[in-house]
Amino acid sequence: MKLGFLTVCLAEVDLSDVARWAADRGFDALEVGGWPATDHRDHIRVDRFDQAECERVREIFDETGLTLSSIAYYENNLHPSDRERVNDHVRKCVDAAVALECPTVGTFVGRDPGLSVAANMKLAEAVFEPLVEYAGGRGVTIVIENCLMKSWHPDGYPGNLAYSPELWEWMFTLGLKLNYDPSHLVGLGIDPVTAIVPYISEIAHVQAKDTQILPGKIERYGFYGPVTGEKGWYRFRVPGLGEVDWARLIDTLYEGGYDGVVSVEHEDPVWSGNTARVQAGLGIAHRTLRELVMG
């Protein structure tokens, strides 16, 4: 395995500086943001990807010796009005991944909140068949993170149909693979280690994020969380500051044959606010995972 992180937590820093810092601190890989230029998470300029951009990114990874593990574009591929644009940008990410010899592109299934789950599943089958064919024909795997994306639904229900093992099994029939993030299972009452044992062969990428349960909050809101704008009963942390048993999780991945990248996704509100604090948070994650993730 290799240890990396998702670059969007340092969106204000140029990719070359992010990569040099990562290599100097002992990381092995980067999962790089590939959102459109109108979004600040465009460390790879996918929507203006030409030979110069390809050479710029290749040079950064050649100089630092890092691995480009995935191009990240996590948006709603089933959006009721923006679906075509999102799907088109996924294709652009695939094209960039081919040029950069990057094995995966990460995104969300998403959801149309005006439709039932069953109707969304049928819609997803129609949407992802051509996307998977497009990527697969070019040697790229589309991976889906199992994030709930409750903010995409007006009532706070899951807005990304990839949040449970039941839905993973359906996803795999579409030719999609899993970008596994254990943090999201903690808030569902699912053991993040036991849950993956049957599915390790379908995991093409791993994101490392932790979840901290906040004392006394679930007694107020219940399992489904608040119906107002208040914060819920858990929050995301960098690995080592939450409930996930990382030693057990990494060991289970090794035992199941996973040998890819474990990429820290930094969404920790404590270790955020400026570049130095984010880097400190990434340092905590590195100290937690480095002795477990050995190449």
Domain spans, the chain: 2-289
pLDDT in tens, 191-202: 999 999 999 999
Which amino acid would we find at residue 211? T
Q: What is the mean pLDDT of residues 236-241?
A: 98
Q: What is the mean pLDDT of residues 8-29?
A: 98
The rounded percent of the chain whose pLDDT value lies above 70 is 99
Q: What is the pLDDT of residue 272?
A: 98
Residue 159 exposed, middle or buried by CB count within 10 Å (0-12, 13-18, 19+): buried
Band of pLDDT at residue 226, cut at 50, 70 and 90: confident
List of long-range contacts for 276-281, beta carbons under 8 Å, 24+ apart: 278/9, 278/10, 279/10, 279/21, 281/9, 281/238
Q: What is the pLDDT of residue 230?
A: 73
| φ/ψ (deg, to 5) at 280 | -65, -40
Band of pLDDT at residue 228, cut at 50, 70 and 90: confident
pLDDT in tens, 111-143: 999 999 999 999 999 999 999 999 999 999 999
Cβ atoms 140, 98 nearer than 8 A: yes
Q: How far apart are CA 88 and CA 92, in angstroms?
A: 7
Look over the chain and give the mean of its residue pLDDT values, rounded to a whole number.
96
pTM, two decimal places: 0.96
Residue 144 has pLDDT above 80, yes or no: yes
Q: What is the pLDDT of residue 295?
A: 67
Band of pLDDT at residue 4, cut at 50, 70 and 90: very high
Residue 51 has pLDDT above 70, yes or no: yes
Q: What is the pLDDT of residue 259?
A: 96
Residue 221 has pLDDT above 90, yes or no: no
294 vs 50 pLDDT, higher one:
50
Q: How far apart are CA 213 and CA 218, in angstroms?
A: 9
Q: What is the pLDDT of residue 46?
A: 97
Q: What is the mean pLDDT of residues 148-169?
A: 94
CATH for 2-289 is 3.20.20.150
